[in-house]
A = this chain, B = another copy of it.
Amino acid sequence: MVNETQHSCSGSSSSRSDGSSSGSEGSKDSSRCSTPVLDADRHERLREKMRRRQEAGDKWFSLEFFPPRTANAAVNLISRFDRMGAGGPLFIDVTWHPAGDPGSDKETSSMIIANTAVNYCGLETILHMTCSNQTKDDITGHLQKAKRLGLKNIMALRGDPTGEEWEEEVDGFNHAVDLVKHIRNEFDDYFDICVAGYPKGHPEAESYEADLRHLKEKVFAGADFIITQLFFRPETFFKFMKDCQAIGITCPIIPGIFPIQGYHSLRQLVKLSKLEVPQEIKDVIEPIKDNDAAIRNYGVELAVSMCRELLDSGMVHGLHFYTLNREVATTEVLKRLGIWKEDPRRPLPWAVSAHPKRRVEDVRPIFWASRPKSYIYRTQEWDDFPNGRWGNSSSPAFGELKDYYLFYLKSKSPREELLKMWGEELTGEESVFEVFTCYITGEPNRNGYKVTCMPWNDDPLATETNLLKDQLEKVNRRGILTINSQPNINGKPSTDPIVGWGPSGGYVFQKAYLEFFTSSEIVTALLKVLKKYELRVNYHIVNVKGQNITNAPDLQPNAVTWGIFPGREIIQPTVVDPVSFLSWKDEAFALWIEQWAKLYEEESPSRMIIQYIHDNYYLVNLVDNDFPLENCLWQVVEDTFELLN
């Protein structure tokens, strides 16, 4: 880590020249204090990440998905992205389905699925694109749209013939190489370009050698790396790789791995890709073709052993998996290979987006902690982050959230399940208290169902919140309906498995935070209690009409999470911001209606109970500023209940 920088300034003369030259490289271009380059990954393009991993000797993997057919399947696929993203793929890719209107705004289109992966799941993503049967203008339009959405990588493909025989198009593209050239012509170096390699030769090529020459053309036209078609024997790949190198292809070549997951899917795939399954595999599979589990086990075995051989050769640094949108087999292969890495370390305490313009994003209001996709959605029009710290009147405001139907904002659970969790019939505010309490405790509700999500949090309770479980249970039972909280932390190592984030060698801190809905009766008592705590506790209390009570000085943000790291400026990624709280308030209150009340018939008693809470409760947030002392927020709540008795 020692940089010996020689500065050529002579004697004690001005350092203007060396001062600014060394600075322009190493420092950032604004005076904001919270954007030290925390995570080189966020600032590199895919080909640089690949190179860095290779140089460091790190093995990596990537995952291929196809766009779903239905909106529900899209919701499931996005959850899968989140789950499989946790294993640390270098990238995912989304195939291009010409029949499915792939460049449209439909929630099942290739374009929108890739957009969701990048922006809402924070995954480095390659969008496939085929060029046959499309005009140049169509393709340029798709590429422009991809760029606008923050996509940085394209897999350039020819696409399959529409009829039996291939027909040359006069005004279009006939080969993938045309698309590569077009991208480089029209978009310069903006995109990283990937092309396909065929270890057995493309089925339509005149010969294996001719196909290699086509591949070389694609690379020399500007492709950055190659992903291969699936194959069944490691030798196939080794031969291919050597042949590529022999004719001067030096870019990374990533083997495509297909873990066999079932008899029928294998048959269909080989038919489509015109590959031949080796006899030794057929011999194993045919006798067990009706036993899905046995075939999958065999498929995993086979994939693991082939991958091991590939990695051990030293020629392969990354593996590309054809997942067929399935999770189990691929995950198991990766885990057995030891390259599935659920890294508990987080670059920041919240899930980052992979959109290039959000690379510098380094601070968010705490309110959306459990709804990061909604936060990204509502701030997608911002040109910079964090947007003049939200308060600047010349900066764009939060977008309205009227699009609760958007597949990446919808609850993962269907209506029937939600009714089981939140109650088929509510009998009063207490029934609501009970739902909150069951969510906290993890105990089944009176009908025997566990409450695994809430309108404000589509996932089970965070590990960190578990630290507060007992107290949370107590207060929810009594009508302090908590939706967000964090404990105070006075300097834990940044590598702490529960509250740590950022590079190692640092210390993380938190102020205790508590956010809840509660009745106006409780608010009245609470305000009396809060007087006693003076400036130790900052509070914002607001109802759906926007009546707002606060003791925050000058409406400034209050930093509630920050980290101190070696050789860096302070990083403060989470704040309680009074201005954005009013935008969050709209969303938090609307979720009562959109996600909960609307489960019930209009005019039904259950619906009216939720409507009553929506109309009359307050949303409260409390910060205990004295982070080195014991969290006083529980005492505040305790005092409030006492005052009420």
Interface string of A383-427 (1 = CB under 8 A from B): 011111111111001101000000000000000000000000000
Interface string of A579-609 (1 = CB under 8 A from B): 1101101100110010000000000000000
Interface string of A549-566 (1 = CB under 8 A from B): 111111111110010111
Docked Cα-Cα span, A507 to B532, in Å, equals 21
**A279 sits at the interface (CB 8 A):** no
Interface string of A491-512 (1 = CB under 8 A from B): 1000000000000010101000
Copies in the complex: 2
Contacts of A625 in B (CB 8 A): 505, 564-567
Given the known inter-chain contacts A18-B546, A24-B392, A582-B15, please indicate yes or no for A566 contacting B29, CB distance below 8 A.
Answer: no
Shortest beta-carbon distance from A519 to chain B in Å: 18
Contact between B579 and A22 (Cβ–Cβ < 8 Å)? yes
Contact between B582 and A547 (Cβ–Cβ < 8 Å)? no
Contact between B548 and A386 (Cβ–Cβ < 8 Å)? no
A residues 588-645 touching B (CB-CB < 8 Å) = 589-590, 593, 623, 625, 627-628
Contacts of A19 in B (CB 8 A): 390, 397-398, 579-580, 582-583
**A447 sits at the interface (CB 8 A):** no
Contact between B391 and A23 (Cβ–Cβ < 8 Å)? yes
Given the known inter-chain contacts A15-B582, A33-B572, A36-B556, please indicate yes or no for A9 contacting B546, CB distance below 8 A.
Answer: yes
Given the known inter-chain contacts A33-B572, A551-B2, please indicate yes or no for A24 contacting B556, CB distance below 8 A.
Answer: no
User: Chain A interface: which size bin?
Assistant: 35 or more
Contact between B536 and A566 (Cβ–Cβ < 8 Å)? yes
Given the known inter-chain contacts A26-B555, A37-B556, please indicate yes or no for A7 contacting B491, CB distance below 8 A.
Answer: no
The residue in chain B whose Cβ has the minimal distance to the Cβ of A30 is B388
Docked Cα-Cα span, A536 to B20, in Å, equals 27
Docked Cα-Cα span, A174 to B545, in Å, equals 61
**A575 sits at the interface (CB 8 A):** yes
Docked Cα-Cα span, A2 to B528, in Å, equals 12
Docked Cα-Cα span, A505 to B387, in Å, equals 29
**A101 sits at the interface (CB 8 A):** no
Contact between A558 and B567 (Cβ–Cβ < 8 Å)? yes
Given the known inter-chain contacts A14-B397, A30-B388, A31-B389, please indicate yes or no for A566 contacting B579, CB distance below 8 A.
Answer: no
Shortest beta-carbon distance from A411 to chain B in Å: 18
A residues 260-319 touching B (CB-CB < 8 Å) = none
With A15-B546, A564-B625 already in contact, 10 other A-B pairs whose C-beta atoms are closer than 8 Å: A1-B551, A2-B549, A5-B549, A7-B546, A14-B398, A19-B580, A25-B555, A28-B556, A553-B568, A559-B564
Listed A/B pairs (23) with beta-carbon separation below 8 Å: A5-B549, A10-B546, A12-B593, A14-B586, A19-B398, A20-B579, A23-B393, A23-B555, A24-B391, A24-B392, A25-B555, A27-B557, A30-B32, A33-B559, A36-B557, A505-B536, A505-B625, A507-B628, A535-B566, A535-B567, A558-B566, A567-B625, A569-B575
The 6 closest A-B pairs by CB, nearest first: A27-B391, A26-B555, A23-B391, A7-B546, A24-B393, A23-B579
